[in-house]
Amino acid sequence: MYLNPFYTPEVHGPYEMISIGRLELERGGVIEDCRLAVRTVGQLNEAKDNAILIPTWFTGTHQAWIDTYIGPEHALDPSRFFIVIVNQIGNGLSTSPHTTDDESIAMSRFPFVTIGDDVVAQEWLLREHFGITELFAVVGASMGAQQTYEWAVRFPDRVHRAAPIAGTAQNTPHDFLFTRVLLDAVTSDPGFNDGEYASNTDVVEGLGRHARVWGVMGLSTEWWKSGAWRALEFETPQQVVEGFLEPTFTALDPNSLVVMGRKWQHGDVALHTDGDLATALGRVTARVFVMPISEDMFFPVRDCATEADLIPGAELRVIDDVAGHFGLFGFVPEYMAQIDHHLGELFAV
């Protein structure tokens, strides 16, 4: 354990730590006291039919959703919905390698967690803690989209709407390798010490390399070339690297990145159907808007369109954004208007 100041309420605003008890993991191992960091916004109505679940993305926490996606001016309107944002296991806020007081799973001993494990934990949380058994919608981006698909396939009768944004139901070979490159950058730092470092600052070189890999894949060639980065109020691309990418990623916990990265690599709803993706996605009864980002370098539109074609009644709603995957941060002004438009239509049916 060590104190990483990024993973605190000072940075993240209020959130609640809720124990779901013992969680047996799909790939073996157990988290004896699995605690989820949860932020809720809005009120659950009496019928308990206005709940929207939001799972988090790689490196992301609930705060990105609070800052950018949720508010009275957005489709994710707290006056209408009870919004439950659940931080994924291992993300640094929910039970994680660097914060757990269970020595058997601390640091390098943290077990392999899957997208399915997160969804099982979230289902327990919603049912037992909040009394919610059906979801008005699940909305998630990137690894959150993986969890969204997992919900729609695993609990088809309990998810009425689903909006997977910039992510896939079945991870691709390219993204498996990309994720390995991301983790390579971190774990190759001698300071990583096989996961037994004393602080993320011991791994700052590796985390910096990880940041720059994100610069190549998280932001599009056109975002860099067109000068769209000037909207972040930097004067050179090098300043974007040093002033945005490196500070953002070097603040994170290395083992958290490893836990999330491995989880991402193995995300696949076809694990429920002996590898048959069409059958898995054919199960979905939710109304689904598949929402890739036009310039995404590693969840390209066509990969998402292929999956949309396998989901009964799904619609492909492409978000036009020059930033690419990091469009998710919402720093291109036209981004949120599109998200709100599509989610608004999804929520209206």
Residues in binding contact with a second copy, number by CB under 8 A: 35
Q: Where are the alpha helices (DSSP H) in the chain?
A: 9-12, 62-68, 115-124, 143-154, 173-187, 204-217, 221-226, 237-240, 246-250, 254-265, 277-282, 301-308, 334-348
The minimum distance between CB 190 and a second copy, in angstroms, equals 6
Location of structure tokens 């058997």: 104
Is 267 among the residues that bind a second copy (CB under 8 A)? no
The minimum distance between CB 173 and a second copy, in angstroms, equals 4
The minimum distance between CB 220 and a second copy, in angstroms, equals 8
The minimum distance between CB 237 and a second copy, in angstroms, equals 4
Is 173 among the residues that bind a second copy (CB under 8 A)? yes
Q: Is 79 left (phi over 0), alpha (psi -120 to 50) or beta?
A: alpha
14 vs 173 by CB, closer to a second copy: 173
44 vs 241 by CB, closer to a second copy: 241
The one segment of 48-56, 156-164, 179-187, 340-348 that binds a second copy by CB under 8 A: 179-187
Q: Enter the tokens of residue 65.
A: 């959703």
Is 209 among the residues that bind a second copy (CB under 8 A)? yes
Please confirm, yes or no, whether 253 is among the known catalytic residues.
no
Beta bridge partners of 161: 287
- Shortest CA distance to 25 belongs to which of 86, 105, 127, 140? 105
The one segment of 68-76, 108-116, 246-254, 298-306 that binds a second copy by CB under 8 A: 298-306
CA atoms within a 13 Å half-sphere pointing along the CA-CB vector of 210? 31
* Phi–psi pair at 40, nearest 5 degrees: -115, 150
d(CA 322, CA 331): 10
Please confirm, yes or no, whether 296 is among the known catalytic residues.
yes
- Residue 45's CB is within 10 A of a number of other CB atoms, namely 13
Is 225 among the residues that bind a second copy (CB under 8 A)? yes
Binding site for a second copy (CB under 8 A): 172-178, 180-181, 184-185, 188-190, 205-206, 209, 212-213, 215-217, 219-222, 224-225, 237, 241, 297-298, 300, 302-303
Catalytic residues: 142, 296, 325
